[in-house]
Structure 1
């Protein structure tokens, strides 16, 4: 067995769902699973053990241990036979999971949590990890489906190539078809026309759509040969990218996007489309950042 999948848990239902999904990912990859709980309380200088007036099983440390034990049990039930280790790591959750991502091929988190992730919603935990993690991040949200395709957002950017690689591998692991979705808008505006003349256009009718179809085909080139068992659908959508991907998520088992793509502002680590999907997609979302997709 090689490889490692890491899941961040905190005792919430969302964290337990993430543990189950991470276990299935580990089994499909032939990887080990590590269940991690970020224990923030030592930094707060508060008592960690049980209260003298309370039950011996009380206290913050015991609460953390129970959260991890329950997540390990759920993981082993979801994917019997996988190797599972666990750790309670002192530190702030975002920092802990970012450090864990250095040795992992995938980090899995829930869309929101409690306990060790007190007050942190998807807007902080998942977005931070997607922007700074050293491997792809899978955010478990929406409805889990046993059927339906893996959908990947394709934009033709160099950064997006890693998301395409990851999506093909995921579709292969899951025995799922792949929908490669590219959304585009009519960015070319009519040129000013001389007095009395018809308004000319920057491109002949249909040329822009043909160019976008070519971009989609080129972005997928070579992947079919490496994953011959994956059935691939090209889906070209004339419309806004985030709305098209959210719509596709309603029937998908997994949505894959790059952290940033074509048109992103230099210096931003996570694009607006990726952030929108982390908040609004109706299935689990994997965000692949740069060369992390090849790990």
Structure 2
């Protein structure tokens, strides 16, 4: 997902909790009739661990005959991680991959030195008589300097391959990394944590401090941390070194993201991430001049370089 360059998140509610360092309120934009909320990056926080970008897609429902149409566009220096709560997306990319992602599965696309991809709804999705809903998260993971120019690649992991930990009214699914005694099968380049957590009202879950940088993105419901409550549509950047307990005031769903700090600052422009401004300039020129490989099965359209 892209084209929200003028919709940066804003600094949110003052955090009274000693456990919360920063609260970010995402900015909302309309992408072809579909609502997107951007929580990262923001002026006050560029990265949380390797995560440099976090978008909430929907929830929303398309009219009959309509669907998601994100035309082919490029990336460098990052890996995209797509995770759905509802609906489906057909992914196509310039490595020749076509894959349909469904709720609970993971698409991990390594851009490395350069990849182009598109994200669209299938014809079957557009013509369903009853339900054409779509909701989920797209995150970008910045690559370490040693792997910024790695070969582009794509990996899909079905929902059944991701471990779940259930205790009382709490459930945690390990999308990336490890926690609560479980480990995701998705390979990452640095120490990374990404988990989907659901809580029944009144239940709680511990969040340890093993990972240096951590944040919670509250997708739905209301939670409490150390006596302070937070509502949906907030990114809560946690203070390092402090284990916390999250309790649900209502039924709630949120994700935990984070990991080790990056090996230096990252620059981000449109869909490009790099430790070098010069590398971003060369990627801009490559896309403008058509030097990226075409997207398999989606060769006719593309998103032009923003001027």
Shared fold, TM over 0.5: no
Structure with higher helix content: 1
Task: State TM-score, norm by structure 2.
Answer: 0.25
The TM-score, its normalising length taken from structure 1, stands at 0.26
Bigger Rg, structure 1 or 2: 1
